[in-house]
Amino acid sequence: MHDFQYKNETLFCEDVAIPKMAEAVGTPFYLYSTATLTRHFAAFDRAFAGIPHITCFAAKSCANIAILRLFASLGGGADIVSGGELFRARTAGVDPQKIVYSGVGKTADEIREALSAGILMLNVESEQELAMIQTVAADLGVKAPVSFRVNPDVDPKTHAYISTGLAKNKFGIPITEALRVYLAASKLSNITIKGVSCHIGSQLTQVAPFVESLAKVKRFIGQLSEQGISITHLDLGGGLGIRYNAEEPPEPAEYARAIKQELAGLACTLILEPGRVIVGNAGALITKVLYTKEGLKKFIIVDAGMNDLARPSLYDAFHLIQAVERPNREQAVADVVGPICETGDFLARERAMPKVEADDLLAVMSAGAYGFSMSSNYNSRPRVAEVLVHGDAFHVIRTRETYETLIQGESIPEFLVS
């Protein structure tokens, strides 16, 4: 459910007409609904009521500080994967004790920043990373709180690029080797073991893979207990999918019931890292038609490209595309493409689309997750504005980049200056 609805054949976000915003901020731009973000966060968090838990929003999915601040105000934390995301989370006012840090390639400087900030824990992904954390923590004179990301070798039944829990994936420590690593960590002077972490992938549309991985991790926690290693936090990651097209993902309540049932008898604080399920359908990319072209096939050329929304080109992902005005007009099959100099620059292919003309607006739906956060300056295109609607008002939460910002930090060396 989301708050993008037609009123008198014009698409609104909450109580603001999208053409009004397009006129004010230009196109393309990302658009988010505060009401949808709030409702989705609450629905997920409430589903785990009754058990100790922290809902740590996956910042990589949508990292704008206004959105991180909204979730922090609702009691949420942050799942981060870089020093930049740590900086964003702290700037947004996220409680450090609700921040968990994942990722296979943390640098010494990033580890130092995280320990200095006093975050809840680092999710360790390799033995060499553990050694680096020990070195940095000793240098700081602190004990580093850690969890190890355990790879349970479970097929999440999702796109290969967003599967993370199989033995062939780069993430985590194989569950068959994890006990040895935990025992080694328990002997390190500047390491405090707090938890076990497990994240098997993204855009999962079935509960079964979550339950299967949790069952393996639960047995593993029992093995740790037998060795005298107590676990206070269990990080189950995120990954719950959303409806883009014909998917039928479980609702958060169904997911939570299955997790709670499998958790029975385990005394741990549960860490959850939802991202897409909260923000995906809360955002849209608004773009303007530049031209239409017909030959062997029909093309709708818009001002948003693969640098603005990478998912269709990267994953062949489906996003519903709607006309912002007069949605029920006659349709024709077309490719919706952008201005990037790549054949792979498309938002939709062979799609039944409303017959649009130059200057018409289109809304690329379900773009709140991994939309702006994956955007780039490819073809020297300034990154777009981000807008947050709250009731009958809208707020620009990121201004559109300019040509000047494109070359910020670049310079011409003296030997090239005539």
C-beta of residue 97 within 8 angstroms of C-beta of residue 126? no
Write down the pLDDT at residue 167. 47
pLDDT reported for residue 153: 73
Cβ atoms of 248 and 284 within 8 Å: the answer is no
Residue pLDDT, tens place only, 91-132: 999 999 999 999 999 999 999 999 999 999 999 999 999 999
8 A C-beta contact, residue 224 and residue 182: yes
Tell me the per-residue pLDDT of 130-158, one tens digit each, with 9 for 90 and over.
Answer: 999 999 999 999 999 999 999 887 654 54
Q: Was domain 4-32+280-406 assigned CATH 2.60.40.1930?
A: no
Instruction: Please give the mean pLDDT across all residues of the chain.
Output: 93
Confidence class for position 249, pLDDT limits 50, 70, 90: confident
Q: What is the DSSP letter of 163?
A: B
Alpha carbons 125 and 102: distance in angstroms, whole number: 8
Binding-site residue ranges: 239, 273-276, 311, 315, 342, 370
Q: What's the angle, vertex CA 144, arms to CA 138 and CA 145, rounded to 5? A: 165
* Amino acid of residue 298: K
Q: Tell me, what's the pLDDT at 169?
A: 54
For residue 164, the model assigns a pLDDT of: 42
Angle (CA) 86-307-204 rounded to 5° is: 65
Determine the pLDDT at residue 174: 87
Q: How many CA atoms lie within 13 A of 213 on its CB side?
A: 31
Q: Where are the domains of the chain?
A: 4-32+280-406, 34-276
Instruction: Give the integer Cα–Cα distance in Å for 145 and 194.
Output: 6
Question: According to the model, what pLDDT value does residue 247 have?
Answer: 81
**Residue matched to tokens 């097929």:** 155
What's the token pair of residue 211? 């339950």
Q: Assign residue 15 a region (left: φ > 0; alpha: ψ between -120 and 50; beta: otherwise).
A: alpha
The pLDDT value given to residue 125:
93
pLDDT band (50, 70, 90) for residue 234: very high
Q: Which residues are annotated as a binding site for substrate?
A: 276, 311, 315, 342, 370
Tell me the CATH number of domain 34-276, given options 3.40.50.620, 3.40.1030.10, 3.10.450.50, 3.20.20.10. 3.20.20.10
Neighbours of 181 (CB within 10 A): 17
List of residues 6+ apart from 170 with CB closer than 8 A: 104
Structure confidence by residue, pLDDT tens digits, 8-54: 999 999 999 999 999 999 999 999 999 999 999 999 999 999 999 99
pLDDT number for residue 215: 86
- Residue 163 scores a pLDDT above 70: no
Q: Quick one: pLDDT at residue 130?
A: 97
User: Catalytic positions, please?
Assistant: 341
Annotated binding-site positions for pyridoxal 5'-phosphate = 239, 273-276, 370
Provide, rounded to the nearest whole percent, the portion of the chain with pLDDT above 90.
79
Lowest-pLDDT range of 94-103, 160-169, 260-269, 292-301: 160-169
